[in-house]
Amino acid sequence: MAGGAGRARHILSFGLTGLGSFAVDLAVLLALRHGLGLPPLVARLPAIAIAMVFGWLCNRRFTFRMTGRPRLAEFLRYAAASGLAVAVNYLTFAALLVSVPQVPLAAAAFAGSAVAAGVSYLGYRHVAFRPARRAPPR
């Protein structure tokens, strides 16, 4: 039973971190688009980058329960693991904006994030936060 509860907590933490990262992504995207007037395809790049840092800090603490202080090497592994997911995210976002110009920015951003979620989880689990570095289950 503890294994099932631990797995559920793990999945819930990943999902909540993903939602939080999406909220950061969308807030920055909208601020840059409507506040500074940047084109959506330009504004999305820093939005994704800022959301990635937020996601790293939350995933390391809550989803993968890393101990110790965050390290640059760990962040670089996380960023490398995120590379494919970020590409999938951005390309989905861009394809929607180009093919369906009336799509709301939030819907296109959500679609990109949703498509990239599985890719990112696999990279984080197997590259960024290797099992040997995680805290033992409680």
CA 3 → CA 6, 7, 128, distances in Å? 5, 6, 23
Whole-structure pTM value = 0.77
Structure-model confidence comparison of residues 136 and 58, the more confident one = 58
Write down the pLDDT at residue 1.
Answer: 42
Distance CA 65, CA 57 (A): 10
pLDDT above 60 for 65: yes
